[in-house]
Amino acid sequence: MPSSLNVAVIGAGVAGLLAGRELMRAGHRVTIFEKQNQLGGTWVYDPRVESDLLSLDPDREIIQNSLYSSLRTNFPRHLMGFSDFSFTKIYDDPRTFPSHEEVLKFLNDFAVHFGVNELIRLSTEVVRVELLTDKWIVESRSGELSQEEVFDAVVVCNGQFTEPRVANFPGIDKWPGKQIHSHNYRVPEPFRDQTVVVIGAGPSAMDISGEIAEVAKEVHISTRSSSLLAKSAIFENLKQHSEIDYVDESGKVAFVDGSSVQADILFHCTGYKCNFPFLKTNNIVTVDDNRVGPLYKHVFPPALAPGLSFIGIPTAVTVFPMMELQAKWISLVLSGQVLLPSKESMMTDTEGYYKSLEQHGLPIRHTHFLFPTKFEYLDCDLSFIWTSSKFSSLRQCREKRPTGAARLHCSESSRINLIILFTLKIF
């Protein structure tokens, strides 16, 4: 492999900025394609919402971002920085869990500090990525201009929070009320005096249900989780229920636990679908119920590695540090400093992982959901990257990993710290 490669990075969100920085540092020639007119991805607030609030209409204009106006981070700023560029500077908002505006300023500073902003082609959408013999063709569009370029490698960093997943249950076709997905939520005012059923129990559901409870008549959270939600203790008009059993034409929403409400709005906080509309791999990489695969350690498709890689696929992790590790790994591999196992070994490892999910009764859609194994992934699977110059392969690194007790100690302390920090945000 030549020492300096021509690498395309798709997206200038956190993942793309990190990929750009690592690859540039390693001496590669990098082009970051970004379809929006500024960097930052998720953290660029867009007050517009889509014409179809469930985002099902194929002809709608797609709005890339899903931030709501009041959003503050769900990690403290200290967990949203990078190993050599910490998020300690306070721009306007001194809170531990800063606003989205603060994160965007931090990312802009990061890009300027490392010169990554020089690598970005704004308002340029990648519409096709395809392997031709051993090179990658990247077709992009910028206004009227369309062009095809050839790259040695492609790093996919297009973000996974644009294409909503919507819940489905009996009676939904005849239900007369309004429906919205959190992708199209910006401010609580449209929910004033309404009875709202929020579906989901992830971070968005928790944040948004508390926010709309301040103006809505009633908020009912429907969740598979049996744990008591802290916010139902804070808001008198907020109640928790089990999953929805059915809805009907009278506006009734019936829950599996036997309770029911007459609701005005069904609010889907049900997450997003992974989507790579530009990627043509002859079905080597597929998306099946949100499993992007096969991907070795959620990054490299064995048959196409190292030329094709992905950053930011795992969820329920401390996102920024994880993406930094993934970006470093990709850069080290492309630079020949770290060797990947053989294609067969990567495939065996990946299939073994899928099998273990099945044995634990976990659905396919949980493939990249790393909780509670996220610390294993960061502490162990990717930790070798920090000292990678000493190792030439993942196998060697695995041999050097700390043993059980030390690993457990490390993971437990990180976990306890996180629990304390999450609790702080609730108050």
Tokens of 329: 């790994």
For residues 321 and 84, what is the distance between their CA atoms, to the nearest angstrom? 11
Q: How far is CA 63 from CA 33, 48, 402, 422, 427, in A?
A: 18, 7, 45, 30, 32
CB 54 within 8 A of CB 164: yes
Tokens of 286: 């597929």
Go through the chain and tell me how many residues it has.
Answer: 427
Task: Read off the DSSP letter of residue 319.
Answer: H
For residues 252 and 11, what is the distance between their CA atoms, to the nearest angstrom? 43
- The least CB distance from residue 395 to ligand FAD, in Å, is 28
Tokens of 21: 């920085």
The footprint of ligand FAD (CB under 6 A) covers: 10-16, 33-36, 41-43, 64, 66-67, 71, 73-75, 80, 125-126, 157-159, 161, 204, 278, 312, 319-320
CB 43 within 8 A of CB 107: yes
Instruction: Please identify, using beta-carbon distances, which residue of 34 and 152 lies nearer to ligand FAD.
Output: 34
Give bridge partners of residue 111 from the DSSP assignment: none
Instruction: Please identify, using beta-carbon distances, which residue of 42 and 383 lies nearer to ligand FAD.
Output: 42
- The least CB distance from residue 159 to ligand FAD, in Å, is 2
- The least CB distance from residue 407 to ligand FAD, in Å, is 24
For residues 367 and 296, what is the distance between their CA atoms, to the nearest angstrom? 12
For residues 350 and 348, what is the distance between their CA atoms, to the nearest angstrom? 5
- The least CB distance from residue 368 to ligand FAD, in Å, is 12
For residues 240 and 216, what is the distance between their CA atoms, to the nearest angstrom? 15
CB 307 within 8 A of CB 152: yes
Tokens of 234: 């804070």
- The least CB distance from residue 74 to ligand FAD, in Å, is 4
Instruction: Please identify, using beta-carbon distances, which residue of 255 and 267 lies nearer to ligand FAD.
Output: 267
Instruction: Please identify, using beta-carbon distances, which residue of 125 and 243 lies nearer to ligand FAD.
Output: 125
User: Position of tokens 């829950």?
Assistant: 255
Instruction: Please identify, using beta-carbon distances, which residue of 5 and 208 lies nearer to ligand FAD.
Output: 208
CB 281 within 8 A of CB 295: no
Instruction: Please identify, using beta-carbon distances, which residue of 71 and 254 lies nearer to ligand FAD.
Output: 71
Strand-strand pairing, 145-151 and 153-156? unpaired
Instruction: Please identify, using beta-carbon distances, which residue of 208 and 265 lies nearer to ligand FAD.
Output: 208
Instruction: Please identify, using beta-carbon distances, which residue of 158 and 367 lies nearer to ligand FAD.
Output: 158
DSSP helix/strand/coil, 25: helix
